[in-house]
Structure 1
Amino acid sequence: MPVARRTDAVLLLVALVWGSSYLAAKTATVALPVMAVLFARYGISALACAALVASRRQARRWTRAEVRVGSLLGVTQAAVLVVETYGVAHTSAANAGLIISLTIVLTPVLDRTGSRRLPGRFFLAAGLCVLAVALLTSSTGLHAPRLGDMLILVAAVVRAGHVVLVGRLTAGRSMDPLRLTTAQTVVGSILFLPPAIAHLPDLAHSTATTWTQLIYLALFCSVFAFLAQTWAVQGTSATRASLLLGTEPIWAVATGVSLGGERLTLWATLGAVLMVAGTYWGQAIERTHRTTAAKTAKEDEACPVMTPTSA
């Protein structure tokens, strides 16, 4: 298989794994409390990451920046998963995967590092996503928003903030992605241990099916997905990678309907289509805007404006 096709296949697999994580998390929270699920997910991930770090030959020592940044990101990532997991426990896996994709259009709004404002068309795309959320949350008729849908909406905002923080804390720094991930999982394990202690006996006596779901969430949806994404994006363009990873909500709907027995009404289907279209549109607008801004900045540096001087 050519390298390009192999890279595309890996990115699609990452998107599929992330899309299926909502159904796995929802099913696991039926058998166990949310905090027990999160502790198990983080604990297994931390052990796997630590084993990978230890297996490296001639590994350099950890830097203070890696520990400091990884610990801070561990707190924000834990906040994302707390809200997201409680949300998916109270809504469908399909809805969760679709609404969380709002992160794509929320991230540029929260990231104000650029010198130029986002074009108006971007906010039209964001408005389309908001309309999609309204259709998804009221797909069975007009009613108050469901708790789960609202929590997933909050999780999308928190995740966007986390993504912005990752970019700002790692920009211009040489940091090992595996060590950052290890630090995050260790911090998450420590944070979730106290509220999960009372449920450890239930966790220990969980069925093989539940443990399979927990291991899948930890090793595939966390460790594998992150490392595979890091490897794959080095062999393709950022545009192609974002398009392939952007199929995550499609896989969330596919797994929820085919494996979880969930049903989409006509209005929910329309909302799903609008959500995917809105996020792709917004992503394309932001990418073009960022590329144009970077090109203009380089041109300005190459041809500085000459200001007249007084005689």
Structure 2
Amino acid sequence: MSDARRTDAVLLLVALVWGSSYLSAQTATAALPVLLVLFARYALSALACLGVVAAAPGRGPRRFTREELRAGLPLGLTQAAVLVVETYGVAHTSAANAGLIISLTIVLTPLLDRGRHRGGLPPVFYAAAGLCVLAVGLLMAGNGFHAPRLGDLLMLGAAVVRAGHVALVGRLTAGRAIRPLHLTTVQTLVGTGLFLVPAARDLPDLVHADTATWTQLLYLALFCSVFAFLAQTWAVQRTSASRASLLLGTEPIWAAAVGVALGGEHFTALTGLGAVLMVTGTYWGQSVERAHRAAGVRRTEVRPAEQDIGCPDTPPGDSSAPAPPALLP
């Protein structure tokens, strides 16, 4: 297998793992309280991240820098908010719907991070966003139009909060010497501390959980979080940002496939149409936003006035590279 195909395979594996996380979270929350599941996921992830930090061959200090702590603390709070809403949501809807609705993050993030788009986004982007909104309505309809289900509404809220979190990641890390692994470790420690107290009274349930439940918790922590994050970071360094975004964008497709194949879920005509429109809208919106941002970079990449005053010749990278997921979803 060539290096390019190996990299593509790793990115697809990350998308598959993230897509399967919704069914795993749904299965775990059926056996344990949501807050206990979140505490276990964070605690196991934190232990694994600390182990990787300690074992990583050092090109620089292993200790956390002040910038990593300053960014990690607020991002740990927003990340915890995302996972609370998302995990409660997946406990009350199908894994397929959860994965599809959360993909709204792709079109919501540019709307919340408009400071990076001079002159605003092109009108066609809003058409793609409107297509995604229509898709959400069809996914919520299920067998017919009715009052929105709690789980779908929570996943919609999770998409909004997650988009805000991703935008905040960009603002707090841009232009700063922050190591992604260390930043993620800080966030997992913050989440562990946040969920320890509310989950404390249910800790005996965790001790007595069966093997199947522990398997789901370990899968969520070690594979959907630590492995997926490290694998994504490794792969993005070896391919183009656009290709990485395209491959990672298959996450909702995998979520639907896993839900149907392993979770016994099924699509009605309305939800099937909603799934198609959601995938189409998110890919369309992503491509429009990426092209608009790339055009802006090309216009501002070289400025003679900056060269005259001796600015370093370091053109901005392709900012369409996926931001470190910070253990999301």
Q: TM-score normalised by the shorter chain: which range applies?
A: over 0.9
**Deviation beyond 2 Å, 4+ runs, structure 1:** 56-59, 301-304
Task: Report how many residues are paired.
Answer: 303
TM-score, length basis structure 2: 0.90
Identity %: 70
> Considering only aligned residues, what root-mean-square deviation do their CA atoms show, in Å?
1.1
User: In the alignment, is the contact (CA less than 8 A) between 1:26 and 1:93 conserved in 2?
Assistant: yes
Q: Give distance in 2, aligned partners of 1:220 and 1:203.
A: 20
Which amino acid counterpart does residue 31 of structure 2 have in structure 1? A
Q: Helix, strand or coil for the counterpart of 2:64?
A: coil
Q: Give distance in 2, aligned partners of 1:128 and 1:268.
A: 14
Among 181, 185, 191, the residue aligned to 1:182? 185
Which amino acid counterpart does residue 278 of structure 1 have in structure 2? G
Q: Which one has the bigger helix percentage?
A: 1
Q: Give distance in 1, aligned partners of 2:301 and 2:36.
A: 50
Q: Give distance in 1, aligned partners of 2:23 and 2:204.
A: 24
Q: Which residue of 2 aligns with 1:62?
A: 64
Q: Give distance in 2, aligned partners of 1:237 and 1:302.
A: 28
Deviates more, 1:290-299 or 1:119-128: 290-299
Among 216, 219, 228, the residue aligned to 2:219? 216
Q: Give distance in 2, aligned partners of 1:262 and 1:270.
A: 16
Q: Helix, strand or coil for the counterpart of 1:235?
A: coil
* Per-residue deviation, 1:298: 2.8
User: In the alignment, is the contact (CA less than 8 A) between 1:116 and 1:293 conserved in 2?
Assistant: no
* Per-residue deviation, 1:302: 3.6
Among 146, 154, 158, the residue aligned to 2:157? 154
Q: Which residue of 1 aligns with 2:253?
A: 250
Q: Give distance in 2, aligned partners of 1:65 and 1:297.
A: 28
CA deviation string 1:139-161 (max 9, x = no partner):
21121100000000000000000
TM-score, length basis structure 1: 0.96
Q: Which residue of 1 aligns with 2:271?
A: 268
User: In the alignment, is the contact (CA less than 8 A) between 1:100 and 1:156 conserved in 2?
Assistant: yes
* Per-residue deviation, 1:65: 0.8
Give the unaligned 5+ runs of structure 2. 307-329
Which amino acid counterpart does residue 10 of structure 1 have in structure 2? V
Of the two, which has the highest radius of gyration? 1
- Alignment partner of 1:36 is 2:39: no
Q: Give distance in 2, aligned partners of 1:53 and 1:283.
A: 33
Q: Give distance in 2, aligned partners of 1:47 and 1:32.
A: 21
* Per-residue deviation, 1:303: 8.0
